Structure 1
Amino acid sequence: MSSTALRAGDLHEVRLTHDEAAGMRSLCHEAVEALGDADLSTQAAMTMVELIGCRLPQRLIAALVTFRCTGNPGGALLVHNVPVDEPLPPTPTDGYLADWRAAGIATTAQLMIMSHLGHVIGYADEKRGRVVQDVAPIAGAELQQENSGSAYLELHTENGFHPFKPDLLSLLCLRSDHERSGRTLTGSVDRVWPRLSSTAIAVLRQPLFRIRFSSSFAQLGSTGYSEPVAVLSGPPDDPDLTADFHGMEPITDEARRALDELEAALTPSLNSIVLGTGSMLVVDNWRAVHGRTGFTARHDGTDRWLRRCFAVADLRRSRGARTAGGRVLAPLTTILADRTTAPPSSHSQPAVSR
């Protein structure tokens, strides 16, 4: 990705005032105290977070609810001045913060915001099933197309291969990279589909693409490909997007040409931003793909550090793939095996409500 292809974004933004941020910090302290040493992946913990999160600044809640219900043309929302811990602990060099309470302010702030966007979930295959995950570079993984890398991360729908992919995701920045060269990228279907040829649109609406499971899912044996999917779906004049320019494989030559056309159309329309401490980017995983430019990591505890969280609009859909009272989805191999033996379901997969 050439730097000349990037531009300053026109994302919708909410900037918390000093008083709003201070009030939210107090709520975070309250949440940390109330949660104690709770497992954040339980329903009880999420209920506590949601109750305290009802007292977030009304202006912020209004922006979150509006984004959840109607979205926006950029497919993303940027929130500034989210409270984080002072001082920050070192960036985890292995990609895992030992105890969420070491960054308790940032953790509860992110969970409270996400509680207004949907139901927080995690994946057993990924990041040990944590519902708030650390995104930090790991020595030796620089070139991997994973959150542990520091090379260019190609545009993708988060876990687009999964039958219960997240509807929304958030990235909360705790620390930028030293040169501030790691730019988060988002590309919206609203801005790109009108530029596509009618031939490409027709092909992209057919299930002619499969997505390779992310390598981070391989630790529990989840390897392989999704069933064939369409890149574009939903209403003709308001489509949804599922794409992964690293892991998606077109089944036909015509499908390859259509996917290439989509990528070429996306490039000049990307939003590009360097996330700073306390900036939180929320991405509509049905409307926008995201990625990241490369940066140089030092692996000394001062590297770029984001925290990632997922949410779904309908928690009930995945009840058969989670333990009772839990928010973590079973390994993908288990879910797929169960699906092959279960009777057919009449329920279709819903998108984020509009």
Structure 2
Amino acid sequence: MTVVDCTQYAGELRELSARLPQIPRADLYAFLDSAGTAATALPGPLASALDTFNAEGSQDGHLLLRGLPVEDDAALPPTPSSTPAPADRPLLTMEGMLGLVGRRLGLHTGYQELRSATVYHDVYPSPNAHHLSSETSETLLEFHTEMAYHLLQPNYVMLACSRADHEHRAATLVASVRKALPLLTAEVRERLFDRKMPCCVDVAFRGGDPDPGAIARVKPLYGDPRDPFLGYDRELLSPKDPDDVEAVAALSKALDEVTEAVYLTPGDLLIVDNFRTTHARTPFTPRWDGHDRWLHRVYIRTERGEQLSGGERAGDVVAFTPRA
């Protein structure tokens, strides 16, 4: 696991965050433009680590920033119980960190069908949440490449922690294709590479149809055969051909064998390379006491993987087009 200790930069980062508009949702475009300007002044070693990860990725497929400034628990509002966040909610420190770090990497993006088309998502446990939702808590959220079925899938998923779960049981699991690939035979790699397979989509993208079937086509491996991208979802990828089923099962086994667990604590910001990994979350038990686990999530698009065509702005919201 690649960890950048940001403790020594806490003062500088607080100052940069203080430069940002303090009601971010009042004008999110202006907020993210301001964050883009401030991101040019990030402390040198942190900026270098982000730039290197953005250009080259890593074997782990993720980068963990630890020791970022964060409010004391008593100073935080109660963990949310509904979405979206109020438009007048003042900037939280970890939201500021997501603005600064995200703009160093690329463009924050919202998805029209997801979370009321908002760009910043509160991630918290919710009673009776769908098992595919990030709001589920007491069941395993299975391995998935975020929106692998979406033509404009995000390049990065960023998770910032304001509150951990009470027992510190919740782990974000990440498995990297760079680590899994050597565990696959040449025959399996060849079968999976550039081969479109049927894939279902998450509930938010089903257009109100409870079961539209496999409306997308996803390639499990694609790009450079020597260093491929990954498109994988344990719940939604639905190969039909027996040889495809067998190859995906081999990929699943390899990903399980290289899985790393990240236990997020307040002040942590996890950057997941969404083109080279799959991620999951282990179960935990909420107490519904206003102090349950509270993460902040944003999606970042960059020019990699043809996710940008030119003229986009940080804060844009895109509509769903399934991969075909």
State if a TM-score over 0.5 links the two structures. Answer: yes
How many residue pairs get aligned? The number is 317
The answer to whether 1:301 aligns with 2:290 is yes
CA distance in 2, matches of 1:291, 1:109: 23
Give 4+ residue runs of structure 1 displaced > 6 Å after superposition.
219-222
Q: How far apart are 1:198 and its partner, in Å?
A: 2.0
Deviations 1:250-298 (A, max 9, x none): 1311111111111111112111021000101101111111111111112
The answer to whether 1:280 aligns with 2:278 is no
Matched residue of 1:290: which SS?
A: strand
Q: How far apart are 1:210 and its partner, in Å?
A: 2.2
Aligned CA-pair RMSD: 2.4
Q: How far apart are 1:236 and its partner, in Å?
A: 1.9
The answer to whether 1:74 aligns with 2:60 is yes
Residue of structure 2 in register with 1:212 after alignment: 200
CA distance in 1, matches of 2:88, 2:117: 13
Q: How far apart are 1:203 and its partner, in Å?
A: 1.4
Taking the TM superposition and a 5 Å limit, the aligned residue runs for 1:28-177 are: 28-33=17-22, 38-40=26-28, 42=29, 44-86=30-72, 87-99=75-87, 101-141=89-129, 144-150=131-137, 151-177=139-165
Amino acid at match of 1:124: Q
| Unaligned ranges ≥5, structure 2 | none
The answer to whether 1:15 aligns with 2:2 is no
Amino acid at match of 1:15: D
Q: Is the 8 A contact 1:53 1:112 kept in 2?
A: yes
Q: Percent sequence identity over matched residues?
A: 31
The answer to whether 1:188 aligns with 2:176 is yes
Residue of structure 2 in register with 1:241 after alignment: 230
- Using the TM superposition, name which of 281-290 and 101-110 deviates more: 101-110
Instruction: Provide TM-score, normalisation by structure 1.
Output: 0.83
Instruction: Provide TM-score, normalisation by structure 2.
Output: 0.90
Q: Is the 8 A contact 2:165 2:292 kept in 1?
A: yes
CA distance in 1, matches of 2:228, 2:162: 33
Deviations 1:75-125 (A, max 9, x none): 100001222234111111224432474443221211110111111111011
Matched residue of 2:10: which SS?
A: helix
Deviations 1:50-76 (A, max 9, x none): 112222211111100000001110010
Q: Is the 8 A contact 2:173 2:281 kept in 1?
A: yes
